[in-house]
């Protein structure tokens, strides 16, 4: 095995990560982090599947139903910001483990929820964990990926998140009618079992350790990774390429994200997160209730239609994972938001007259908007230096939570207003097209190392 003769540095650590071939070690780490991400996605969408039942069981008003949806999102917003700060200070793996524990314990407590107020409070706590895990986990996967195929590497991992959303709807379509909504939250407590495996099986990010000035520890971690990779491939590792100019070893801070070249990056990516999730959750949070309340469909049909939309979204994520390293990040983001906008405006122009019609166009929208949003989990960590990467990614998480909060509120108001649901789809379509215009101003990152993008 070939290593670097000189003492470890941030540049040499990055160079050693860049030369690692894909191996069983990468598969193991992505599987463990992916299992965590899967259940975070599963838990995130539980309220949507439970909402039609809760509205009847607890006689919820539209305002209460909206609050049941948004309370978790408010928690995710706070959790994303806190986790970004923690992830850059105590480490990626510790932060993810803490978030998983909070999510799972809150889900278990929700099983015993006696009423609306208790339910909403616990959804807020659960949101703290979900909001913290997802952006920091995405940051970690970005930091172990090599630049050449980073887009495919990261997005094939990120497919696990929409897969979790899809499985949540599939499981809910059977469990909720037969076992009730509480059984779904009991399943959602399963990731508590993963915390110990995560701590033992996933090493801390060598890039993060080096950026924090813990160079000797980073050297030991990357040496263990190299040994495992070499053993799994059965071949010696190639010599690292000469290290590019590295990022400075620094503590970083929130203000750094709004100065110099990072100001534009932060504003653009925050707007993309907001519009992507405003559209996404404006639709998905209300679809089952929309089918049952407006179109008078039975619960089983409503949940089945919801599954179709999520499967279409998963397909969109798979397509973008295969194309993102060829087309680049900026075209993918613009096409995704633009395609969703066109589909929504067509649905609005048609009058959205039946549940089946809504299901078809909502599925086409999901195909585009899921592809956009999963790409943002790849794109955002690429924009920031290692010492601020988790915070930058989590700031994107804050913006997406704002979209998740505002989207369902706007949709809830339009559903119950005099304008009709066609106007709701028109508003979402225009928002998506505005997001597509913002994407044109995005910085392209394909094919460049994280250090080259931020040196």
Q: What is the pLDDT of residues 290-342, one digit of tens each?
A: 788 778 888 788 878 888 888 899 899 999 999 999 999 999 999 999 999 99
pLDDT reported for residue 312: 92
pLDDT reported for residue 245: 54
Residue 306: inside a domain, yes or no?
Answer: yes
For residue 393, CA distances in Å to 37, 120, 266, 303, 447 come to 15, 26, 10, 32, 19
Is pLDDT above 70 for 6? no
pLDDT band at residue 4 under the 50/70/90 scheme: very low
d(CA 356, CA 36): 34
Residue 420: inside a domain, yes or no?
Answer: yes
Please return the burial class of 178, using the count of CB atoms within 10 Å of its CB with bins 0-12, 13-18 and 19+.
exposed
Residue 329: inside a domain, yes or no?
Answer: yes
pLDDT reported for residue 247: 55
For residue 281, CA distances in Å to 51, 74, 267, 319 come to 14, 13, 21, 21
pLDDT reported for residue 355: 82
Is pLDDT above 60 for 137? yes
pLDDT reported for residue 242: 59
pLDDT reported for residue 3: 43
Does the predicted model carry a pTM greater than 0.75?
A: yes
Least confident of 40-44, 122-126, 432-436, 444-448: 40-44
Residue 454: inside a domain, yes or no?
Answer: no
**Lookup: tokens for 435:** 């997001």
Residue 134: inside a domain, yes or no?
Answer: yes
Residue 156: inside a domain, yes or no?
Answer: yes
What's the distance, Cα to Cα, between the start and end of the chain in Å? 29
56 or 250: whose pLDDT is higher?
Answer: 56
CATH code for the domain of 147: 1.20.1250.20
How far from chain centre, in Å, is Cα 98? 17
The mean pLDDT of 420-428, rounded to a whole number, is: 86
Is pLDDT above 90 for 430? yes
Q: What are phi and psi of 437, to 5 degrees?
A: -65, -40
For 25-55, the DSSP string reads HHHHHHHHHHHHHHHHHHHHTHHHHHHHHHH
d(CA 192, CA 118): 21
pLDDT band at residue 453 under the 50/70/90 scheme: confident
pLDDT reported for residue 1: 42
Least confident of 116-130, 191-205, 353-367, 412-426: 412-426
The mean pLDDT of 383-390, rounded to a whole number, is: 92
Is pLDDT above 50 for 231? yes
Asked whether the beta carbons of 203 and 143 are under 8 A apart, the reply is no
pLDDT band at residue 434 under the 50/70/90 scheme: very high
pLDDT reported for residue 243: 54
The mean pLDDT of 371-384, rounded to a whole number, is: 94
Residue 27: inside a domain, yes or no?
Answer: yes
Q: 110 CB contacts (<8 Å, ≥6 apart)?
A: 119, 122, 123, 126, 182, 185, 188
What is the total count of domains within the chain?
Answer: 1
Structural domain of 131: 11-237+252-449
pLDDT digits (tens, 9 = 90+) for 170-224: 888 788 888 988 988 898 888 888 888 888 889 999 999 998 889 999 999 999 9
Residue 1: inside a domain, yes or no?
Answer: no
Instruction: Work out the mean pLDDT of the chain and round it to a whole number.
Output: 86
295 or 262: whose pLDDT is higher?
Answer: 262
């Amino acid at each position: 095995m070939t290593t670097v003769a000189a003492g470890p540095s941030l540049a040499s650590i990055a160079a050693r990560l860049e030369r690692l071939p894909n191996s069983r070690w990468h598969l193991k780490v992505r599987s463990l982090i992916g299992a965590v991400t899967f259940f975070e996605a599963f838990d995130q969408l539980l309220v949507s599947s439970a909402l039609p039942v809760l509205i009847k069981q607890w006689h919820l008003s539209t305002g209460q139903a909206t609050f049941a949806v948004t309370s978790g999102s408010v928690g995710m917003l706070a959790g994303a910001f806190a986790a970004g700060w923690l992830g850059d200070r105590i480490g990626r793996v510790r932060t993810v483990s803490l978030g998983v524990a909070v999510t799972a314990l809150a889900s278990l407590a929700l099983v015993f929820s006696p009423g609306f107020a208790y339910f909403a409070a616990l959804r807020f706590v659960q949101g703290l964990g979900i909001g913290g895990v997802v952006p920091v986990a995405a940051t970690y996967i970005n930091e172990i990926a090599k630049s050449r195929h980073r887009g495919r590497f990261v997005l094939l991992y990120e497919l696990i998140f929409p897969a979790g959303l899809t499985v949540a709807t599939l499981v809910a379509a059977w469990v909720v009618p037969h076992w009730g909504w509480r059984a779904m939250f009991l399943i959602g407590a399963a990731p508590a079992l993963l915390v110990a495996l995560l701590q033992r099986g996933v090493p801390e990010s060598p890039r993060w350790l080096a950026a924090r000035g813990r160079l000797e520890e980073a050297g030991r971690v990357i040496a263990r990774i190299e040994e495992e990779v070499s053993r799994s491939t059965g071949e010696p590792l190639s010599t690292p390429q000469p290290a590019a100019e590295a990022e400075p070893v620094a503590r970083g801070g929130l203000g750094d994200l709004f100065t110099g070249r990072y100001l534009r990056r932060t504003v653009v990516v925050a707007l993309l997160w907001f519009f992507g999730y405003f559209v996404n959750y404006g639709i998905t949070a209300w679809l089952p209730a929309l089918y049952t309340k407006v179109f008078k469909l039975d619960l089983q049909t409503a949940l089945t239609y919801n599954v179709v939309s999520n499967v279409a979204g998963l397909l969109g994520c798979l397509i973008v994972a295969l194309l993102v390293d060829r087309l680049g990040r900026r075209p993918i983001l613009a096409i995704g938001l633009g395609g969703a906008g066109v589909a929504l405006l067509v649905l609005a122009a048609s009058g959205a007259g039946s549940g089946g019609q809504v299901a078809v166009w909502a599925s086409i929208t999901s195909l585009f908007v899921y592809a956009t949003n999963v790409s943002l989990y790849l794109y955002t960590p690429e924009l920031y230096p290692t010492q601020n990467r988790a915070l930058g990614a989590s700031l994107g998480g804050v913006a997406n939570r704002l979209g998740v909060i505002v989207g369902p509120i706007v949709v809830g108001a339009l559903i119950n207003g005099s304008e009709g649901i066609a106007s709701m789809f028109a508003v979402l379509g225009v928002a998506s097209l505005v997001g597509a215009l913002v994407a044109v101003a995005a910085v392209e990152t394909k094919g460049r190392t994280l250090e080259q993008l931020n040196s």
